[in-house]
Structure 1
């Protein structure tokens, strides 16, 4: 026992000395406020606490006033201006003791700021003693809000993307089969499952993943939630075509989910503002959602009318449906990513993991739920596609509506990353199904209109052959009468 005590004494003495040394060094570095030059203070922009700047190659300026400086101590010192995040802005300014004037002394001037990246940072002032060790920091900081410059191509993109999206739904409306839709709505089991997985399962997954991977970042959690809540859009319909899903069910689910968004979005936002986002003001852009849903329904309805009154147009659409819609979808994705390429600077491993697990879990769980509820393999595949293919346009619109410009720009990376990952997941599933020979139409009436067109062509050929046979028989009978 005595030996143990003897061995522990040197360790205890070392720990005491280490604690005293760290404490003394910390006090020396931080200094006691007011020890060097009295109770000096800072004023930014005439008393403002926030300054709006833009990302630019040109220098921008912040007005700073240092006042109530006590020069009676006789200690030499200087002030330095800093920013909290050098990746977003750079500041290099040093104010010497000789630059101060008056009693008590003060200094006023402009500090040049070189902005580098959009986002938020802070500007503050430190006081350095001549010993090079003692440092005092200003009691107040200035919040720098660095915004991107508004670009004309973003406005052009919004109108172009809307036009391409409507053109896609016009083509998809042309391949809908009314009889198949009637069966779907008379027995809406699959549509109901798709609605529940899209508006209950996916938002719940997003909240859980946000809590796990982004626990302290409320804005990013909300961006992930908006991404999961938004209707899938036309890309899911195109994926259903390539993966041999039930296209009629896919378009019907997309349309219903888009219309129901007007009621579901306010309900979910009311729940969130009463629970997780208590101090956050969230508004629903009813007008934008209503215009989008109405335009979608009108485009699909117009495509259906074209099929009824211009069947040759429908046959042409069938021939070029896959490549045409695929090109439109890739164009929309490419334009969205290109316009918002700046957002990838905000990508972190935690954002990537949250965006990765959202579509993967959504696809797996929705497929399993659909099979448990006795849906066919084709319908289960279609429901899982509708659930897991994520939309990037609607969440971007919601984020821009709920947040200021800078916060919205910082959260755009979430829907963009999640949507791209969901698209890559669909490509991988398609490749696996093709390699193993699984990419087959297992439901003979899932794309019934295509069968009908083939049957029409077959019927025409049969009628022509029958007419030719009848003509030959009539000629033969006439020859018999002659002889």
Structure 2
């Protein structure tokens, strides 16, 4: 028994010695903002390891070969009579936006194939790949700022304190909307992000930030088409947007911090705060115009109110056109995420409104309001709150949400039209039968 124990101890000591005998030193541990298509040279040296096998090599491993590739990939290990310290170099080339890490490991070859891993280095290189900034990117950012400012100035002009006061005097609808949109949906969005993109932090952030955004201006259009309460829809959109000034920073720094922590990214408190502030300022400008320039205010509301949905749509289309390269990463997971956020919102809004025993038109407006996310705000927050390449990668999620949002509403609208047509035909048939009966008499 004692001899067996002694042998086990010897094996453990030998294994530990072997595992610790390979010391690798890399010329850097981080590569920030490596541009797509560009390469950087990395030097490394290794000490205190002797090669006993002709088939042993060093392999350079990339955790994501779609983001970065290395060349050469394999190095021959030095022979026994080689000096104790030796060095080599390899290149890292950026392939596509994202994050990846480089590791070194010893592998055993047989017949030209890797058959086993004999050792790994503790050292690694963290790489961030970005794309070169283009003129259209600057134009897009300027357009986003200008258009979002116009939308929020218009919102400030259109706020009617009387309507909000009347709505708050019967607070069942706004409370139900707040619970569904700013309590339930953000929590569900967080878990959706973790389940759908378990190893993709950027996508998790894109999905989560879209889920914590307020209702969109298009909700009032759909409320009209589907027979909802248009006045309630407008008030809920206004109140929801005002609530988002508090709730977006809250959720971004609360549950959002757990997503940032995965990649050891700092929560961008200052960027989130400045993004929210940049939306508050145009809102205040709009309120001041309403207070001191009522004639100008009426003209702006009359002109800009119908354009609000168009401006948000323009931001989404511009984001898509200027970032067509992102369709390379479009996948079934992104389409699933794009569908789950709004469609879950519809279900939550309907259940919440039904439990609150609201009238049918109010239930329709609540359902729509909870499902239509303001993807313009989501894109704005992602672009100005996150650094590169996350700000670029995450844009694909709100674009997917915008594409998938209208599908259930369009189906409902077609169904409604079919029912109306059927009822009209039944009314015509009844009228025809009545007329024939009267003629017979």
Residue deviations 1:172-229, cap 9 Å, x none?
Answer: 7777777655533443432332222211221233234345544566664454333222
Rounded Cα–Cα distance in structure 2 between residues aligned with 1:143 and 1:260: 38
Rounded Cα–Cα distance in structure 1 between residues aligned with 2:166 and 2:77: 85
Asked whether the equivalents of residues 43 and 87 of structure 2 are also in contact (C-alpha less than 8 Å), the reply is no
Q: Match of 2:438?
A: none
Q: 1:335 aligns with which of 301, 311, 318?
A: 318
SS in 2 for 1:405: coil
TM-score normalised by length of structure 1: 0.67
Equivalent runs, 1:89-238 vs 2, <5 Å: 89-93=68-72, 94-96=74-76, 103-109=83-89, 111-127=90-106, 132=111, 136-140=118-122, 141-168=124-151, 180=163, 183-210=166-193, 212-214=195-197, 220-238=203-221
Q: 2:26 aligns with which of 44, 54, 60?
A: 44
Question: Cα distance, 1:231 vs. partner?
Answer: 1.4
1:252 and 2:231 equivalent?
Answer: no
Asked whether the equivalents of residues 43 and 66 of structure 1 are also in contact (C-alpha less than 8 Å), the reply is yes
1:378 and 2:361 equivalent?
Answer: yes
Asked whether the equivalents of residues 240 and 382 of structure 1 are also in contact (C-alpha less than 8 Å), the reply is yes
SS in 2 for 1:282: coil
Change (3 A) 1:295 1:311: closer
Q: Match of 1:364?
A: 347
1:282 and 2:267 equivalent?
Answer: yes
1:429 and 2:412 equivalent?
Answer: yes
Q: Match of 1:309?
A: 295
Question: Cα distance, 1:389 vs. partner?
Answer: 0.6
Q: 1:86 aligns with which of 40, 65, 75?
A: 65
Question: Cα distance, 1:54 vs. partner?
Answer: 2.4
Q: Match of 1:264?
A: 247
TM-score normalised by length of structure 2: 0.72
Q: Work out which of the two has the higher radius of gyration on C-alpha atoms and give 1 or 2.
A: 1
Flag structure 1 segments of 5+ consecutive residues without an equivalent: 1-31, 439-483
Q: What RMSD in Å do the two structures reach over aligned CA positions?
A: 4.2
Rounded Cα–Cα distance in structure 1 between residues aligned with 2:40 and 2:126: 15
Question: Cα distance, 1:422 vs. partner?
Answer: 1.6
Moved more, 385-394 or 257-266: 257-266
Rounded Cα–Cα distance in structure 2 between residues aligned with 1:329 and 1:408: 18
Question: Cα distance, 1:292 vs. partner?
Answer: 0.8
Aligned residues: 398
Flag structure 2 segments of 5+ consecutive residues without an equivalent: 1-14, 422-441
Q: Match of 1:442?
A: none
